[in-house]
Each structure stands twice: as C-alpha cells, then as structure tokens.
C-alpha cells in the first residue's frame, strides 16, 4: 500500500483532516465546522474504512477522525489498517459510548485519541492541532480512572507472551465476559441477578487472579491469555 500523506505539517501549514463516518449529516456538519478553522484543512469525508484507505492513497492527510461504529470494517480495525499502511497519519477515534473495552481496543489498534461524539468541539480541535505530549488525547468527559487505565495500557508492552491464567470460577468468568462486552459493574450485577456488593467481590477476585489493577487491564489480559474471545476487528 502506498504511504503518501505521511509528512507532518509545518507549523505554518494547516492540519489536513479526513473524516470517516457513515452518518452523512454528522460527517458533513463536522467537516464544515473543521473547514471553517484556519488551522485545519478538511480533505474529505469517507463513509467507510475502505473508502478512507483509497482516499489516503492519493490525498495527503495528517489526521483521520474515525467513527467506531461503521458498516463493514469497524473503526477499530480501520484504525489498525491506517496505522499499518500510513504510519505518519494520526487517528482520532470518536464514539458515542465511553466504554473501557472500546478504549482498550482503540489503544491497542494505535489510536492517537479517544473522544466522545457528544464532547466539546474544543476537545477535538485541541486533539487535532495540539496533540498532547503523551501521544494519546482523551476527551475531557472521560472518567479519570479510564484515563489512567488508557495511559497505563499505552505504556505497557503487549508483545510478551503471558502464561494462561487459571483459577477463575465459573461466575468470575461470567463477570469477566460481560465486562469484556463493555457492561458496567451495575449492568453486570443486574444481568446476572446478583447484588452490586457480590459483583464487586467477583471483580476484585478476578483482578487479583489476573494480577492486574483495573477492569480495563483485566479485559485486555483476558484477551491476551485466551480467556475471552476478542470482538471482531480486534
């Protein structure tokens, strides 16, 4: 695949942005809003990952704004494909749901940012024009604990093999599976018909047995060790 469009813009040049979203009204409104900023040049709108990849082959671009939920290839796999084919292009992932599992997948795929669709427009502008030194821009509405998890995952090496983790009970595996599907502890407790106190006890036990410090890390560790099946596109 061609790697055109990888050059970073100079301080005087506008940041070239491609919007990838299959909701036409949203994508066109966002592209117009971005085009009205003198520091940004919106190079186009693509309704799918496939069209985005085609566009990147002939249109220089610095930043891709990627929706998570797309028809066909989803935004997480799309992020991975763009990072592999165009390593100089930053991908900012937009989502309507701030879930630990989605954030974990985005970080693993190489996203440079993770922002809620209903977040402040200024957050998106800042992520485009002034990327943080950490290399990962996260919307201001994201819970603090999720931000901490994301930064920790950003720094962790994920290539080293991990031995399978044993000792999880059937109920603990059920709880872990639901967490991996993006459910909150309250939703897990409701679905399994247990109290929040019992659910939190299971989560605490899962974290101890997997030797991790958060629910997000537990889900990622479970993917790596084969305890959970990764969602499509991961």
Q: How confident is the model at residue 157 (pLDDT cuts 50, 70, 90)?
A: very low
The answer to whether the CB of 68 falls within 8 A of the CB of 76 is yes
Q: Look at residue 7 in the predicted model and tell me its pLDDT.
A: 43
Does pLDDT of 208 surpass 60?
Answer: yes
pLDDT tens column, 97-153: 777 777 878 888 889 988 888 888 999 999 999 887 767 788 776 776 666 665 565
Spell 85-115 as b/e; 16+ CB within 10 A means b. Answer: ebeebbbbbbbeebbbbbbbbbbbbbbbbbb
Position with higher pLDDT, 23 vs 158: 23
pLDDT tens column, 180-190: 888 899 999 99
On the question of a common fold for 15-155 and 170-224, the answer reads no
pLDDT tens column, 16-53: 999 999 998 999 999 999 999 999 999 999 999 999 99
| CATH code that applies to domain 170-224 | 1.10.10.10
CATH superfamily for 15-155 is Response regulator (3.40.50.2300)
The answer to whether the CB of 52 falls within 8 A of the CB of 83 is no
- Return the domain boundaries, the chain: 15-155, 170-224
């Amino acid at each position: 695949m061609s790697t055109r469009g990888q050059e970073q813009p100079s301080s005087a040049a506008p940041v070239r942005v491609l919007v990838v979203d299959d909701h036409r009204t949203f994508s066109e409104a966002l592209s117009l809003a971005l085009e009205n900023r003198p520091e940004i040049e919106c190079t186009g709108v693509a309704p799918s990952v496939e069209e985005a990849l085609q566009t990147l082959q002939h249109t220089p671009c610095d930043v891709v704004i990627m929706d998570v939920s797309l028809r066909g290839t989803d935004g997480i796999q799309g992020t991975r494909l763009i990072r592999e084919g165009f390593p100089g292009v930053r991908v900012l992932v937009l989502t309507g749901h701030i879930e630990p599992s989605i954030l974990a997948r985005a970080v693993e795929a190489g996203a440079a940012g993770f922002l809620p669709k209903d977040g402040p427009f200024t957050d998106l502008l800042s992520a485009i024009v002034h990327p943080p030194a950490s290399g990962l821009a996260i919307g201001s509405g994201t819970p603090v604990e999720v931000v901490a998890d994301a930064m920790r995952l950003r720094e962790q090496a994920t290539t080293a093999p991990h031995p399978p983790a044993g000792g999880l009970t059937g109920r603990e595996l059920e709880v872990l599976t639901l967490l991996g599907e993006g459910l909150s502890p309250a939703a897990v407790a409701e679905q399994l018909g247990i109290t929040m106190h019992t659910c939190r006890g299971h989560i605490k036990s899962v974290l101890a047995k997997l030797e991790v410090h958060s629910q997000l890390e537990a889900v990622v560790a479970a993917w790596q060790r084969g305890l959970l099946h990764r969602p499509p596109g991961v």
